[in-house]
Amino acid sequence: MRVVVIGAGVIGLSTALCIHERYHSVLQSLDVKVYAERFTPLTNTDVAAGLWQPYLSEPSNPQEAHWNQQTFNYLLSHIGSPNAADMGLAPVSGYNLFHEAVPDPYWKDVVLGFRKLTPRELDMFPDYSYGWFNTSLILEGRKYLQWLTERLTERGVKFLLRKVESFEEVARGGADVIINCTGVWAGALQPDPLLQPGRGQIIKVDAPWMKHFIITHDPERGIYKSPYIIPGIQAVTLGGIFQLGNWSETNNIQDHNTIWEGCCRLEPTMKDAKIVSECTGFRPVRPQVRLEREQLHVGSSNTEVIHNYGHGGYGLTIHWGCALEVAKIFGEILEERNLLRMPPSHL
Amino acid sequence: MDRLPGDQQSCSSTDEMRPMDTVRIAAVGAGVVGLSTAVCISKLVPRCSITVISDQFTPETTSDVAAGMLIPPVYPDTPIHKQKQWFKETFDHLFAIANSAEAEDAGVLLVSGWQIFRSIPTEEVPFWADVVLGFRKMTEDELKKFPQHVFGQAFTTLKCEGPAYLPWLEKRLKGSGGLILTRRVEDLWELHPSFDIVVNCSGLGSRQLAGDPKIFPVRGQVLKVQAPWVKHFIRDGSGLTYIYPGISNVTLGGTRQKGDWNLSPDAEISKGILSRCCALEPSLHGACDIREKVGLRPTRPGVRLEKELLAQGSRRLPVVHHYGHGSGGIAMHWGTALEAARLVSECAQALRTPAPKSKL
């Protein structure tokens, strides 16, 4: 069984690992390769701040809520392991701020210690009048990708720097199953009018006194368009940019100013923070994640493609649930082809 | 040395002062208590000059070793309402700094976390619960992270770091004309007649300077480590094991060794601290750049905050004692400093008020 995963961001690498973990011992032979044009630190995952937090409103596909929860619980189970920090994983608490009262989010019982902010806490944020406090998790993109790469390498998974022009090309190369984790660039392999870039720009600063995340919300402006401050393991990410349809990969000075002014207003202590780096990334925005199977007819054989892209600004938040779902679909493919020596233990 | 009873209110001196004279005040001790008292005095007492005199300055003071977490101790001899007042005043003072652009300079930051107990404590809600932010009981899910513990409190409090805060206080003091003098004071009388009032903030030094047998060290050994992924404090309710993330390192503790004056770190104790902290937070196995530190908490059944008029022959020296904060130096410093400044102000007033010579 030859599997090719296209894409080496969090979705590609975690899906590769999930499949290998579950099926390596139940298949006669399982060969997994990862093809990608960009590897860490050049992927969109590397730009993400890495805070586990879904969007506030319920997803149009209720499965996504389940996948988010599965991911949180999976990550939480690694807290308490000595290696958590190697994965880029750490608990972090913080504030979500609003201009007016809002209903509790659907994930309030997934995170830990969810509660409303007290008046004295709100005093710290004069522009806001309502908010939440909860404990969540940081999963730093770069560290996690490095960790995933190590785990995959240990398992003999090979990585190839390759620009894939078509699924057919990969199928003709001998792949039985292709996992399409090409994120925001999926349209190049198969047009998808529902997929758009949600351009984000972030500034990474040295502000080691910041131990909490602060995320502001402005329903009129939309998600990620309001300032946010998210501490990572070493640096703190400042953001607040979301531009649908903008493919510009260079940092923009106006966006820099928007982020800087917004975050300094939110948190006056940022004024003296030293800037470490600034980057741009593209959230793969889609009304819902595309996670489904498709059969390709290449020559006389059927190649299966499992699509797993379009995770918007919540890729890290949802990745493991999606990886498990892809693994389930992969299992169905194996059963159809009578390839399983014994039932897989993890489904 | 003749002494009048400790509750003597009068601070009159045989040396008469005219109302417009500058009152010369010496603060002995340059830890958090000495420096903050000097700053409070400079703001409260008109026409005074303040000199902080000490043989040790930051980063060599006890305040520099302390993690500086605002989780107050209990002083058996001090009424709870007073402790709460001191803690609240300190919290409010530092909270304002934490939310200002000065936070990094002053070494003040907000930290959230958990205090956990192996058995349900008699007092589930401590007196300071409404001073810190967002105090509540931990949920069952939160407690799962600590399988040896059955009860916990979650809250957000402040951390105030000596190595930054003390220089920040010194700068404030100098900005208002205060002076700093490096000198080891062996006897408070050395300060007479150069100074009109002495504020004794010498911590453990008061054993000698004030002849106070009630003050004794409680030795604390800690490790300062690099573990920047730790964003929460974790404190065992016994106070013996704690993890306090700060601006540039994480403090792991600790010990509470009564009557132990030894300032050298003990390697076995360090191993024990690391082991206990890793049991609470396994990711600390990856901590590096481990540095051992020792501080002697200046412990007393209650903070000594009172006036005393020293007398020797015809010489008089008004003293305000302000020491004995134990493990609560940083947590209580501003509240007690405000009170000490008020006492000093009373002394200054008395000196300036022409009074009949006191009959002794």
Q: Name which of B265, B269, B331, B323 is nearest B298 in CA terms.
A: B323
Give percent of chain A with pLDDT exceeding 70. 98
Instruction: Please state, in angstroms and rounded to a whole number, the distance separating the CA atoms of residues B162 and A29.
Output: 61
Are the beta carbons of B212 and B40 closer than 8 angstroms?
A: no
What is the 8-class DSSP label of residue B5?
-
* Of A171-180, A276-285, B317-326, B347-356, the least confident: B347-356
- Domains of chain A by residue range: 2-337
Q: What is the ipTM of this complex?
A: 0.94
Amino acid at B109: L
Given a cut of 90, is residue A114 above it in pLDDT?
A: yes
Cβ-nearest to A212 among B105, B110, B228? B110
Side-chain half-sphere CA neighbours of A65 within 13 A: 13
| pLDDT tens profile A266-317 | 999 999 899 999 999 999 999 999 999 999 887 777 899 999 999 999 999 9
What is the least distance, in Å, from the CA of B209 to any CA of chain A? 38
| pLDDT tens profile A165-183 | 999 999 999 999 999 999 9
Chain A residues lying within 8 Å of B100, measured CB to CB: 268-269
CB contact under 8 A, B101 and A212: no
Q: What is the average pLDDT across B245-260? A: 97
| pLDDT tens profile B269-293 | 999 999 999 999 999 999 999 999 9
Given pLDDT bands bounded at 50, 70 and 90, which one contains residue B149? very high
Task: Mark out chain B residues that contact chain A at CB-CB < 8 A.
Answer: 98-101, 103-105, 109-112, 133-134, 136, 138-139, 141-142, 145, 154, 156, 227-232, 245, 247-248, 278, 282-283, 285-286
Q: Name which of B310, B241, B303 is nearest B278 in CA terms.
A: B241
> Which pLDDT score is estimated for B353?
83
Are the beta carbons of A82 and B286 closer than 8 angstroms?
A: yes
Q: How many pairs of residues across A and B have Cβ atoms under 8 Å apart?
A: 94
Chain B residues lying within 8 Å of A120, measured CB to CB: 133
Fold of B23-352: Rossmann fold (3.40.50)
Annotated binding-site residue? B297: yes
Closest chain A residue to the Cα of B109, Cα to Cα: A209
Q: What is the average pLDDT across A69-89? A: 95
What is the least distance, in Å, from the CA of B17 to any CA of chain A? 46
Instruction: Please state, in angstroms and rounded to a whole number, the distance separating the CA atoms of residues A52 and A46.
Output: 15
Chain A residues lying within 8 Å of B154, measured CB to CB: 113
Q: Name which of B297, B301, B293 is nearest B260 in CA terms.
A: B297
CB contact under 8 A, B112 and A121: no
| pLDDT tens profile B37-77 | 999 999 999 999 999 999 999 999 999 999 999 999 988 88
> Which pLDDT score is estimated for B216?
97
Q: Per DSSP, what are the bridge partners of residue B174?
A: none
Instruction: Please state, in angstroms and rounded to a whole number, the distance separating the CA atoms of residues A317 and B84.
Output: 42
Given a cut of 90, is residue A221 above it in pLDDT?
A: no
Q: What is the average pLDDT across B314-318? A: 96
CATH number of A2-337: 3.40.50.720
Instruction: Please state, in angstroms and rounded to a whole number, the distance separating the CA atoms of residues A292 and A308.
Output: 7
Alpha helices in chain B (DSSP H): 32-44, 62-65, 80-98, 103-106, 140-143, 162-175, 206-209, 267-280, 329-352
* Secondary structure element (H or E) that encloses residue B113, with its range: strand B108-117
* Secondary structure element (H or E) that encloses residue A22, with its range: helix A10-23
Given pLDDT bands bounded at 50, 70 and 90, which one contains residue A220? confident
Given pLDDT bands bounded at 50, 70 and 90, which one contains residue B16? low
How many Cβ atoms sit within 10 Å of the Cβ of residue B354?
9
Give percent of chain B with pLDDT exceeding 70. 93
Given pLDDT bands bounded at 50, 70 and 90, which one contains residue B4? very low
Q: Name which of A280, A241, A244, A284 is nearest A260 in CA terms.
A: A241
Average per-residue pLDDT for chain A: 95
Give the DSSP per-residue string, B40-95: HHHHHSTTEEEEEEES--TTSSHHHHS--B------TTS-HHHHHHHHHHHHHHHH
In chain A, what is the greatest distance between 2 CA atoms, to the nearest angstrom? 69
What is the least distance, in Å, from the CA of A40 to any CA of chain B? 21
